[in-house]
Structure 1
Amino acid sequence: MNARLPFAPPGRQLDGREPQQLAATVVGAEEAWTDLLEYPTDDRGYAEIFLDEHVGVWVLEWTDDERDTGYHDHDRSAGAVHVARSAISHEHLRLGQRPVGDRVPTGEGRFDEIHRMRREPGSGPTVPIHAYSPPLERAGQYGEQEDGLLHRVPTSSEEHLSPKMSSHLVSLR
């Protein structure tokens, strides 16, 4: 068993809903992540719980109601989030239709391809656990450019996700 995971690492890339199951299991094992929370001085803090060539697991903490990931995908990685504390607002992008969203409280999770998340306003410090397989290396962020069309901006996993509008779009795919 890994010192941070409450089970032996899977040793392979995860399929289907397995990233969601992994995130939910880690949420239930608070000893794997509570000491990593640093009470961010900014509006967001994060720490790696586990990383190998097949899986990446992270704990995040949001303290600002204005924190918004913007619409994004996880490139080639399957991604899942499970709320450990408080609540998030979660929306998934639907082309040709208005986005659909809901409140995701403690103990629940989501798994989507193109989505955005933010802390549920007034809900206090929010802690979601994120799981990716393979580990997240790149993301695609979506925003409207001056031409009025939606574009995808490839970004490194090191970059903080945030809403992308025309002034932020530099390289388009």
Structure 2
Amino acid sequence: MTTAPTSARARGHAPTPLTLDALVELTRDTAADVRAGLHEVRFDAENRWSVRLHAHTYADVWLITWTEDQSTLLHDHAGSLGALTVVDGDLTERVWRPSGLRDRALATGRSVGFPVGYVHDVVNTRSAPAVSVHAYSPPLTAMSYYRVDDAGALRRTHSVLTHDPEPDVPTLDAVPSRTGTTR
């Protein structure tokens, strides 16, 4: 990954030299590697399965799998920019706006980037499993969770310190190889 000086506006006001476009490209490139079979994919009916594929100075890249009704809950990524690309399947992103929550479909191949302060939920509403690649820059250090109250206002419920986009479920820090060993 190369970095070039960028303006704070192009970076999305995050403390990173990477732009949203660079993060989206990183997730697209990694999704192509996943589709090519370079990374093992697993599914867990109870929890989203995830593994950190790359840990760079300025970004972490994660592979996350989803079975039906698995959701991230409404959250932000604290001071990190983010991006995701759907490798396979269909996901629904619920984005909070002052006018309320809005759903958008994320089908296979779709990529999105999200600036600091972006509050969303991602869910697999389909019976078929889904696979996605996510990148965060700078690497995650915290996440905050929210609910929308009866007046339609966004209310933070709690925050967690974490380096992991799946802080409440077991994840792998080492990438499993096709032979079953980790590297």
Q: Which position in structure 2 is the counterpart of 1:60?
A: 64
Q: Which position in structure 2 is the counterpart of 1:10?
A: 2
* Residue 121 (structure 2) pairs with residue 116 (structure 1): yes
Whole-Å separation in 2 of the counterparts to 1:54 and 1:33:
25
Q: Give the fraction of aligned pairs with identical amino acids, expressed as a percent.
A: 22
Q: Which string of whole-angstrom CA distances, capped at 9 and with x for unpartnered residues, describes residues 35-67 of structure 1?
A: 33233253310001100221100000111x221
Task: Give the CA RMSD over aligned residues.
Answer: 2.6
Secondary structure in 2 aligned to 1:29?
helix
The change in CA–CA distance for 1:148 and 1:84 in structure 2 (over 3 A counts) is closer
CA shift for structure 1 position 139: 1.0
Q: Which position in structure 2 is the counterpart of 1:160?
A: 168
Do 1:140 and 1:155's aligned partners in 2 also have CA atoms closer than 8 Å?
A: yes
Aligned positions, number: 150
Q: Which position in structure 2 is the counterpart of 1:88?
A: 91
Query: Structure 1 unaligned runs (5+)?
Result: 1-8, 162-173
Do 1:80 and 1:132's aligned partners in 2 also have CA atoms closer than 8 Å?
A: yes
Question: Counterparts of 1:1-173 in structure 2 under 5 Å?
Answer: 9-10=1-2, 13-30=17-34, 34-40=38-44, 42-63=46-67, 65-95=68-98, 97-112=99-114, 113-122=118-127, 124-144=128-148, 150-152=154-156, 153-157=158-162, 158=164, 159-160=167-168
Q: TM-score, normalised by structure 1?
A: 0.75
Whole-Å separation in 1 of the counterparts to 2:29 and 2:136:
14
Q: Which position in structure 1 is the counterpart of 2:178?
A: none
Do 2:33 and 2:39's aligned partners in 1 also have CA atoms closer than 8 Å?
A: no
Whole-Å separation in 2 of the counterparts to 1:125 and 1:79:
22
Secondary structure in 1 aligned to 2:30?
helix
Do 1:44 and 1:60's aligned partners in 2 also have CA atoms closer than 8 Å?
A: yes
Whole-Å separation in 2 of the counterparts to 1:146 and 1:125:
32
Runs of 4+ aligned structure 1 residues displaced above 4 Å come to: 31-34, 144-149
Whole-Å separation in 2 of the counterparts to 1:145 and 1:114:
15
Q: TM-score, normalised by structure 2?
A: 0.71
